[in-house]
Amino acid sequence: MPFVGVHGKSNGSVLGQSFYSYRRMQHEIYETITAMKNAPAFNAIASRDFVIVKPDGSKIPVHVAIGAPYRPAKHARAGNKVGCLVLTCDDPDLATEIWGSDEMDVVAIALALIDIHLIQMIKETGGELQNLAGAPVDPSGSEALKETRAILRKTMSGS
């Protein structure tokens, strides 16, 4: 996407595109900070603690939590959607607001976001996800959850 200058003239240069991306990122950060200032206090409805054991044996504690859904979401672009705070660390001030069409939708999105976060942490560290007792944990969920997803896929495909 070309950068549109102050006077509305397009500047197709890489520098112009980089500047546009930078300004867009700044705007996204501003909107997120503004939304978080107006967001309700973090009230977890579900949370889990894990440890990622890196190949060198060092451990990284991981805390994830999903907040109670609320309406309306506080982010400027969310409209009248349902909001939900998702925490991917142990500091509630760093929660991320997501939004969806209703409470079930936003909770499903929150779970998917946590799955993505855990999988990305495992890839980045090369480690293994474990529960606090030291047993390996599959970031994509329990066997029951995977079986439910398989049934859903089969049902949706008409098989």
- Segment 20-74, tens digit of pLDDT: 566 666 666 666 665 555 556 778 999 999 999 999 999 999 999 999 999 888 8
Residue of higher predicted confidence among 97 and 31: 97
Predicted local confidence at residue 16, as pLDDT: 47
Q: Distance between terminal CA atoms of the chain?
A: 42
Residue 52: name the closest of 142, 131, 114 by CA: 131
Residue of higher predicted confidence among 87 and 14: 87
**Based on the domain organization, do 23 and 89 belong to the same domain?**
no
Residue 96: name the closest of 121, 78, 119 by CA: 78
Residue 129: name the closest of 35, 82, 43, 64 by CA: 64
**Based on the domain organization, do 21 and 76 belong to the same domain?**
no
Question: 14-23, 31-40, 115-124, 133-142: lowest mean pLDDT where?
Answer: 14-23
CA distances from 110 to 12, 44, 52, 115, 132 (A): 37, 12, 21, 9, 22
Whole-angstrom distance, CA of residue 141 vs CA of residue 13:
45
**Based on the domain organization, do 94 and 110 belong to the same domain?**
yes
Alpha-carbon dihedral angle through residues 90, 91, 97, 101, given to the nearest 10 degrees: 40
According to the 3-state scheme, what is the secondary structure of 42-94?
A: CCEEEEEEEEEECCCCCEEEEEEEEECCECCCCCCCCCCCEEEEEECCCCHHH
Name, in order, each residue with C-beta under 8 angstroms of 137's C-beta and a sequence gap of 6 or more: 50, 129, 130, 131
| Cut 0.85: pTM above it | no
**Based on the domain organization, do 77 and 135 belong to the same domain?**
yes
Residue 7 reports pLDDT greater than 80: no
**Based on the domain organization, do 70 and 118 belong to the same domain?**
yes
**Based on the domain organization, do 64 and 10 belong to the same domain?**
no
**Based on the domain organization, do 33 and 44 belong to the same domain?**
no
**Based on the domain organization, do 68 and 8 belong to the same domain?**
no
How many residues does the structure list for the chain?
159
**Based on the domain organization, do 9 and 63 belong to the same domain?**
no
Residue 89 reports pLDDT greater than 80: yes
**Based on the domain organization, do 70 and 122 belong to the same domain?**
yes
Predicted local confidence at residue 158, as pLDDT: 78
Count the domains in the chain: 2
Residue 159 reports pLDDT greater than 70: no
Confidence of residue 153 (pLDDT cuts 50, 70, 90): confident
Residue numbers of the domain that contains 123:
40-157
For the chain, what is the mean pLDDT? 80
